[in-house]
Structure formats: C-alpha cells, structure tokens
Structure 1
Amino acid sequence: MTHNKPAQAIQMVDLKSQYLHLKEPIDTAIQQVLDHTGFIKGKEVTAFSSALANYTGVSYVIPCANGTDALQIALMALGLQAGDEVITPSFTYFATAEVIALLGLKPVFVDVDPHTFNIDVSQIAQAITPKTKAIIPVHLFGQSADMEAILDLADQHGIAVIEDNAQALGGTYTFSDGSTWKTGSMGTISCTSFFPSKNLGCYGDGGAICTKDEALYERIKMIANHGQKEKYHHEIIGCNSRLDTIQAAILNVKLPYLDQYCAARIAVATQYNQAFAGNEKIKTPFITAHNKHVFHQYTLQLHASIDRTKLKAALLEAGIPSMVYYPIPCHLQKAMSAFTDPRWVLPHTEQLAQSVLSLPIHTEMSTEMVAYIAEKVIALTARS
C-alpha cells in the first residue's frame, strides 16, 4: 500500500498542536502569574518542585534556568578541584562536556555501547584513576544508561554519579533485584532540561537538579542563588540560575501528561520498528530488557552503503525533516583539543557519528504520518 503525503506538514516536533490540546489550562496558568506578578520565585515554582520530586521519587528538586546550568551547578556542588577528572561519553550534546571544562576540570571521554548508544561501563572501569571524582552517564535519546553497573563501579571507587537526564525524563530502569526507578532518581545528583522539544518542555529555557541528599540540596540551592542562604550573605561563590514563574506554571500543567506523552512517543517508535523490521539497510533502536525507553529521539543506524547527506536531502524533498545527533563527537570538537588523552579510543562513537539519523517523533504524530515517513525511508535506502 502506498501512502500519500499527509496534508499536515511533518515536523521533528509539533509544539503548536501539543499546545492547542492544552490551550485553556496553559493560558489560565500564565494569566494567573500575570495577575499576581510573582514572576521570580512565585508559588508555581515551589509547586512544580514538589510535583517533580513526587514524580521522580527524589527528595529534593531545585529548578534552574536550563539543563546546562543544572550540570554546571551539580559539578560545583561536589566541590571538585581544578584538574579533577570527570568521565562521560563523547557521543552526547556538547553541554555535558562543556561544563566540565568550564569549571577547570578534565573531561575523560569513553566509548559507548554501539547498540544502546549509552556509555560503555567496561570503558568507564578502564578510565578510572585516582583523579577521577565523578561519572556523568547520559541517558541518550530516552533510554537509561546501565545504572546498576555504573553505581556499583562508582561505589567501589568512591565516585559521584551525576545523571544527565535531559532526554529521558519519564523513563525507568529496573535493577536485578526487581526494583524499578525513574531516570533521574538513581545518581548522587541528576540534571534535566525543559527545553521546548524535550519530552516535558516549557515555552522557553528551563532545567532542574534533583538529589536525595539533604546536604547537597542545601548546597545546590545556595550555588544557584549567588551562594547565599540569607539575602546579601554570600557564603560561597555561586551563580544566578532560576526557573521563572511563567515557565513553572506551564510545566505544572504539562507534568501530569508526561506519561501520556511518553506513551505516544513509544507508539510512534513501535510503528517505525514494525515498518523497518528485517530491513538490512536500517538498524532500529535497541532497547534493553531492563529499560523503558521514552524516545526523545527515534534514531536509526544506516548501512555503510547509504549516503546520509543525500538521504536527508531526498527526505526533505518529500516533506520529511531529519536530524543527525551528533555529527561531531565531543572529543573531536576543536574546543576540546586542550584535553586530548590517550585513553580516548572511541571507535563506536566515531562510527555512530557517521551513521545515525533521527526521524520525526513527537506526541502529535498520526499513524498516517509515520507510515508515509517509513515508506519513503525504505524506498530511498533500497536504492543505495
């Protein structure tokens, strides 16, 4: 069966349609903030902190300005010293590594599992030295890293674990004892982003830092507020990073729908998987048995015979956008040239950077859209 191009334009993420489904409660929530004018640290921010803590199962949530700030503040809260090493994957958005370098720490990049795209725990073990103070696993594209193995390794060496949960909020990880935990609830600290395209997105920038440790919570609060507990009494060097009240009001409306949003993304991914099953030119996302993958991105691996640039252009001509996350790994970025390390042997990361392609996936996609996209991808890759 041949599927016609849908009447509605296909987008990587359709924020307008999602907004229209919640227009009345979102407009009301925004108007309430405009009415009480508590634009900074308004009651909606406190309400959202509590709601997100309840959702994730952590004790404390500190909202902040964006996901990058969340990572920076988390590292600052650990009290690391210049030259301390932080292990992280190179196959991630640059912000994960950027904050490490910004603070005078040393990023140590390790390879990823070629199937899950997440950090390879065996590579972490080989990269640990006496200078290693933290590990930042990234739950890439919506699937949790192997947190049980990472936490065991970190415990053995007395290393902190900061979860980069910017892409997997709503996901879960099941431990060998049968217990299931939300992503962002397992590490020493976790960080997330509410960038508009995220599974839980606001209408601007926003982020949050989560922890179960009361002492870390108090320190994180101070750092995010110019290093002060009491106004004008600055005990440590901090920064200014906060979630504004209007964004918190929007997130309060959307958080109860997060599981529904994740389910919609999973449904789209399932339809894609079925369409691409058995296709030797396309490798669909691998999901581990202990994970609930919430598909912030739906990312294929393309066969070496496929010219990705030409495929992207042909898809766009057919009205189908696509993206490459990420074409240049962190360890190959010019900004990281000062940190070159012989431990950076990352063949899987470099291969993935050349072969991955992400297709549209969002909460408002129809089955007709997915069928049309899959049909075009299959037809175009068959020619390669």
Structure 2
Amino acid sequence: MKVSFYTSQREYLAKKDEFDRAVQSVIEKGNFILGEQVAQFEKGIEQYTGARYAIGVASGTDALTIASDILGFKDGKEVITSPFTFLASASCITKHKGRPVFVDIDEETFALDVNKIEEKINPQTVGILPIHLFDQMADMDRIMDIAQNHQLRVLEDAAEAFGMRWKGKSGQYRHAGTIADFGVFSFFPTKTLGGYGDGGMIVTNDEELGRKAKYYRVHGASKKYHYDFIGYNSRLDTLQAAILNVKLKYIDDAISKREKIAKQYIECLSDCEAVTLPTLKGDQKQVYYVFNILAKNRDQLAEHLAKNEIGYSIYYPRPLHLQPCFSYLGYAKGDFPVAERVSENIIALPIYPEITTDEVEFICKTIKSFYK
C-alpha cells in the first residue's frame, strides 16, 4: 500500500465542481489582483477567528516579514524566539537587521520554554515571537504577561495554527493569532486551511496596525501612487482566495477529521515503547495540522517507511541556531539541548482529512514492525 505524506487530489475530486466554479469566476471577470474574492476571504477569516482586521498577503513568510517591520523588529533590536521552527520565524527579524535571540523549547510541546524568556530580556529587547507548532499553541498567558511587564510587542506565528484556540486565564477561547499585537497564517497547500499555491494572512485587533498592514502590502500606498511608507508587493492572489473561500466552508469538518486520524494514531501506537506521542499542555483546543512522534532510531525508521512507500517529513532536522545562515549570532552546538535532541528524534506521519483508516492502520503496523 502506498501512502502519500500529503495529496490534494482527493479533496479536489470530492469538491471538483465547487473549486472549478470558484476559479472560473475569477478568470471570467479578469479581476486577478485584490479581487472581490480576497475581500470576501478576509471577511470570512475575521468572522471565523474573531480578529477585527484580516489582511491577505502573498505568503505566510511575507506576513511575518511585514508584521515584523511594522512592530519595529529591526535595526539591531532583539526579538526572543525559538530555534526549533521554520526559517521564516527568524529570517523575518534578520531581514530588517534585527537580531533573533533564541531560547530553548519545552520537550513535550516543542513550543518556547516560557520559563527561559525573561532571562534573555535586556534594554535592546523589543519583542517576543512565539510559534504555535504542529498541534497546539504556546503558553500565551505567560507570554503576554511577560510582554506587558517589560513593555514588549508580540507577534504570534500562527502559520501552522489555523483553528487552534487558547482559553487560559481569560475564561474565553481566543483563536490563535488574535491574542498578540499581530498574528499570521500561512495557506501553503499542506496547512489545515491550505490553498493550491502560496498565500498568507496578517490579523490584528488594533485599528492602526491593521491600517498599516493594508498599506504595506501594496508598496506602502494609502491610495494608488500615494506612498505613506516603504512597503512591499505582497497581495493574496485572487485565484487562491477563491479556492480558500471554498475550503473555509468546510474547515470545521476538516479539523474534526484530523482529530479522528490523530486519535487512531495515538490508540494504535500507545503500546509502542520506542515512540513518544504528543502531549497537550494548557487550557486550549488543539488542531492536528501535523502528527509528530519522537522515535528511537528515527533515521532508520524513516528509511523503513520509505521502503514501504509511506510518506513522512521531518520538522525540523537542524535547529536554526546551527544553520550556517545564523552562524553570525555566535551560537554553538549544545546551547539549546532540548531543541537539538528533539530534532534528532522527531518525525511527522501522514495526516490529512482524506487519509483512510486502513492507511493509518498500515502506517502504524509498519512502524511497529520496525521495532520488533
């Protein structure tokens, strides 16, 4: 049995008429740049997440870069973030000549270890950039308390966290990305809400920040050829917005299916001593964007999966502090032992709404056969 790590074809074929009509409507009208479907999608995101303002941009990376610029994460200022994440979570700081300052992660959640944040704060620190990784959010209660106490700005990297909600001490669930000054989403195809190409979104509850983000995505223009800022050319494509409008209608069903798949994995692998399963922390509603396990002999297991035609991915094989592009920061191997240890053992298994129970069972049996 061949099992892809991800495939869009099953979803497309199941809703082919809707997707085709959505794309055709854009082509027929010819309004390809910031067309009506973009505004419709932005409104849909505001309604679903509770954010007051949603601004569509070309990618999740652009969303981080623009938001970092507006928040002042630049010109030698320091921003505390994680070494265990995708490049964009730190490159968005360095793009503006800011300085990412890493702290180690919590071994169970893979999020920033909030107990290590304050020791890194100094007069040059201007912000915190937490990442909501894989299936749960970082401890936003602690992060926002620290930020308030030290007058720091917070940018939530919710690129992987669409649908996740944090309750915590507020007593009300708040959607990922809507708690801090800015939040961002990615609509890369594999995401929980993914398009058929690149796409991203900036969200905020602050009117002034929302206004600036809207200007920054069109070269900093308040209106055509009137430039208030030096901005970017980063607009959510109308064709992608049309596709995402279709998918947003079914997002709760997609999240529910992901949860059922995750529960099957957990049930099937719970008796496998060589595997460590995800642990949820904090008062929150998780979403299984990715299903990661920590596995003994991870690289050999990956080879075994590949031989059995099972797709997998490794998020992330090398922490950012050990990447050559960040060597100028002066970090060395051993500086963040938890992130380094996790990177050597983590492996992601296939999870998407259209995967079948038989396929998940086959994956679990294949993993168990490796450890016999």
Q: What's the TM-score, normalizing by structure 1?
A: 0.94
The answer for the alignment partner of 1:270 in structure 2 is 263
For 1:19, the aligned partner's letter is Y
CA contact under 8 A between 2:215 and 2:222: conserved in structure 1? Answer: yes
Identify which of 270, 274, 288 aligns with 1:281: 274
d(CA) in 2 for partners of 1:184, 1:282: 31
Identify which of 45, 54, 71 aligns with 2:47: 54
Is 1:141 aligned to 2:153, yes or no? Answer: no
RMSD between aligned residues: 1.4
CA contact under 8 A between 2:321 and 2:331: conserved in structure 1? Answer: no
For 1:373, the aligned partner's letter is I
Change (3 A) 1:96 1:177: closer
For 1:295, the aligned partner's letter is Y
Which SS does the other structure have where 1:254 is aligned?
A: helix
Is 1:164 aligned to 2:154, yes or no? Answer: no
Alignment of 1:9-48 (within 5 A): 9-48=2-41
The answer for the alignment partner of 1:371 in structure 2 is 361
Kindly provide the CA deviation profile for residues 237-288 of structure 1, in whole angstroms up to 9, marking residues without a partner as x: 1111001111111111111211111111111110000111132210011112
For 2:318, the aligned partner's letter is I
Which SS does the other structure have where 2:31 is aligned?
A: coil
The answer for the alignment partner of 1:76 in structure 2 is 69
TM-superposed CA distance for 1:344, in Å, is 8.5
TM-superposed CA distance for 1:356, in Å, is 0.5
* Deviation larger for 343-352 or 116-125: 343-352
d(CA) in 1 for partners of 2:66, 2:333: 27
CA contact under 8 A between 1:49 and 1:61: conserved in structure 2? Answer: yes
The answer for the alignment partner of 2:105 in structure 1 is 112
Alignment of 1:128-277 (within 5 A): 128-277=121-270
Which SS does the other structure have where 1:115 is aligned?
A: coil
For 1:102, the aligned partner's letter is K
For 2:92, the aligned partner's letter is V
The answer for the alignment partner of 1:332 in structure 2 is 322
CA contact under 8 A between 2:166 and 2:173: conserved in structure 1? Answer: yes
Which SS does the other structure have where 2:249 is aligned?
A: helix
Unaligned runs of 5+ in 2: none
d(CA) in 2 for partners of 1:284, 1:381: 16
Which SS does the other structure have where 1:140 is aligned?
A: coil
d(CA) in 2 for partners of 1:21, 1:164: 31
The answer for the alignment partner of 2:300 in structure 1 is 310
CA contact under 8 A between 1:110 and 1:344: conserved in structure 2? Answer: no
Kindly provide the CA deviation profile for residues 132-166 of structure 1, in whole angstroms up to 9, marking residues without a partner as x: 11111110013111111111111111111111111
Which SS does the other structure have where 1:98 is aligned?
A: helix
TM-superposed CA distance for 1:168, in Å, is 1.1
The answer for the alignment partner of 1:295 in structure 2 is 288
TM-superposed CA distance for 1:320, in Å, is 0.9
Kindly provide the CA deviation profile for residues 102-149 of structure 1, in whole angstroms up to 9, marking residues without a partner as x: 110000011110001111101111111111111111100131111111
TM-superposed CA distance for 1:98, in Å, is 1.1
Which SS does the other structure have where 1:141 is aligned?
A: coil
Kindly provide the CA deviation profile for residues 48-89 of structure 1, in whole angstroms up to 9, marking residues without a partner as x: 111101101000000000000000000111134410001111
d(CA) in 2 for partners of 1:342, 1:176: 37
The count of residues paired between Structure 1 and Structure 2 equals 372
TM-superposed CA distance for 1:177, in Å, is 4.0
TM-superposed CA distance for 1:178, in Å, is 2.3
Kindly provide the CA deviation profile for residues 23-45 of structure 1, in whole angstroms up to 9, marking residues without a partner as x: 11111011111111100011111
d(CA) in 1 for partners of 2:170, 2:74: 36
Which SS does the other structure have where 2:102 is aligned?
A: strand
TM-superposed CA distance for 1:173, in Å, is 1.2
Is 1:63 aligned to 2:53, yes or no? Answer: no
The answer for the alignment partner of 2:84 in structure 1 is 91
Identity %, equivalent residues:
38
For 2:179, the aligned partner's letter is M
Runs of 4+ in structure 1 off by over 3 angstroms are 341-344
